[in-house]
Amino acid sequence: MNKILITGATGQIGSELTPLLRQRHGADNVIGVDQRPPRDPAIAAGGPFHELDIRDATALERIVRENKIDTVFHLAALLSATAEADPQMAWDINMNGLLTILEIARKYCCAVFFPSSIGAFGPQTPPENTPQDTIQRPDTMYGITKVVGELLCDYYHKHYGVDTRGLRFPGLISYKTPPGGGTTDYAVEMFHAAARGHGYSCFLKPDTRLDMMYMPDALAAILQLMAADLNHLSHHNAFNITAMSFTPEQLAAAIKKHIPDFSVHYRIDPIRQAIADSWPRHMNDSAAREEWGWHSEFDLAAMVSDMLEHISYPKRRQA
Ligand code: NAD
Ligand code: SER
């Protein structure tokens, strides 16, 4: 990995992965692209950045060719709730974006990282200890694009030898960017409300349990998988990974240990509740552990302490 392209570079993962890769590989060797300019000026100023639509194959191919890109982290996509609001657009961006990247990777011999999701599972999937290889019949457009994305990555690996690798991420929690249209974003929103000294109106039921992960673990997983010896990977794509599994009421209780007067009430959004209800409660990530040594560092208590240490608003009330 010498010359890197990151699509979706200004999103939740991209805003943290881009500076991390620039630190490791040199600022000029990591090119970010996104349809919107970075909120964090460090991303635009910290190295090459191009504003473009991921479906613009000509512009992407020119960037890859001219910069001799050898690795693509393909993060540009619509997340679950945004995708459900405009399913046709979600199909177009998530599928045609990925196909464009895979075709370019085939032509220019690039490795590709593609993040899948707990959303790639559906109501018929075993919700507890969800196996690596199991039933995947999601009933959301987001999930459909993730399953097809996983299969496309397998196809390009098998038929064209493209080094495609990927993870099924759970809900990711971080403090650097605002939530970006996901169903698990309630968790990030809850932190921002608590840190502001406000109560939080939660759109999922108090007992909706989902897999989650703190961003430092997610970044470590991406780098570890991309560095793994391909010969040791029998599932090179779509590895289940998780770090913790909790409900909104458990997260609220963990935050209340730091901010005792924090309060949450529940105003359920039926669309996002239905999405969450179709996802696993807790994935089995033993394939990732066995094949490339995955393990997480942050549990619920450690993640909550670190989040609250980093999110600061003037009105923050401390215990
Ligand atoms: P995000 O919404 O924060 O970022 C996605 C980025 O893609 C945004 O900056 C957006 O501007 C960009 N984008 C969207 N449409 C585009 C287009 N047409 N052209 C160019 N750029 C476009 O999402 P994220 O959390 O950073 O997620 C990145 C990837 O990881 C996605 O594939 C997502 O499905 C996957 N993932 C995320 C999570 C999570 O909890 N954040 C969990 C599982 C999987
Ligand atoms: N966190 C993502 C979402 O809620 C899951 O892929 O959309």
Q: Per-residue pLDDT tens for 10-29?
A: 999 999 999 999 999 999 99
Indicate if 142 belongs to the active site.
yes
Domains of the chain, by residue range, sit at: 4-170+215-240, 172-212+244-310
- Asked if pLDDT for residue 318 goes beyond 60, the answer is no
- Asked if residues 245 and 281 have their Cβ atoms less than 8 Å apart, the reply is yes
- Asked if residues 85 and 140 have their Cβ atoms less than 8 Å apart, the reply is no
The predicted model gives 229-233 an average pLDDT of 90
- Asked if pLDDT for residue 319 goes beyond 50, the answer is no
| pLDDT tens digits, 180-205 | 789 999 999 999 999 999 999 999 99
Distance between the two ends of the chain, CA-based, in angstroms? 45
Q: Are strands 210-214 and 282-283 parallel, antiparallel or unpaired?
A: unpaired
Which residue CA neighbors atom 1 of ligand 2 most closely?
171
Question: Considering the chain, what percentage of its residues have pLDDT values greater than 70?
Answer: 98
SS3 labels along 104-134: HHHHHCCEEEEEEEHHHCCCCCCCEEECCCC
Worst-scoring range by mean pLDDT, 59-73, 88-102, 108-122, 227-241? 227-241
- Asked if pLDDT for residue 75 goes beyond 50, the answer is yes
Worst-scoring range by mean pLDDT, 35-49, 161-175, 189-203, 254-268? 35-49
- Asked if residues 186 and 268 have their Cβ atoms less than 8 Å apart, the reply is no
Mean pLDDT across the chain: 95
- Asked if residues 32 and 190 have their Cβ atoms less than 8 Å apart, the reply is no
The predicted model gives 93-112 an average pLDDT of 98
Which residue CA neighbors atom 6 of ligand 2 most closely?
117
Q: Show the ligand 1 pocket: residues with CB < 6 angstroms.
A: 8, 10-14, 34-36, 53-55, 75-79, 93, 115, 117, 169, 171-172, 180-182, 184
Q: How confident is the model at residue 109 (pLDDT cuts 50, 70, 90)?
A: very high
Q: Which two tokens stand for residue 193?
A: 């409300």
CATH fold of 4-170+215-240 reads Rossmann fold (3.40.50)
Distance 87 CA to ligand 1 centre (A): 15
- Asked if pLDDT for residue 141 goes beyond 90, the answer is yes
- Asked if pLDDT for residue 314 goes beyond 70, the answer is no
Q: Which two tokens stand for residue 184?
A: 């698990």
Q: How confident is the model at residue 315 (pLDDT cuts 50, 70, 90)?
A: low
How many CB atoms sit inside 10 A of residue 190's CB? 23
d(CA 185, CA 229): 33
| CATH class as words, domain 172-212+244-310 | alpha beta
pLDDT score recorded for residue 37: 87
Task: Among 94, 141, 150, 183, say which to mutate for ligand 2: greatest number of ligand atoms within 8 Å of CB.
Answer: 183
Quickly list DSSP for 154-205: HHHHHHH---EEEEEE-EEE-SSS---S-STHHHHHHHHHHHHT--EEESS-
Question: Considering the chain, what percentage of its residues have pLDDT values greater than 90?
Answer: 91
d(CA 274, CA 264): 20
Task: Among 75, 82, 94, 118, say which to mutate for ligand 2: greatest number of ligand atoms within 8 Å of CB.
Answer: 118
Q: Show the ligand 2 pocket: residues with CB < 6 angstroms.
A: 79-80, 117-119, 171, 182-184
How many CB atoms sit inside 10 A of residue 151's CB? 13
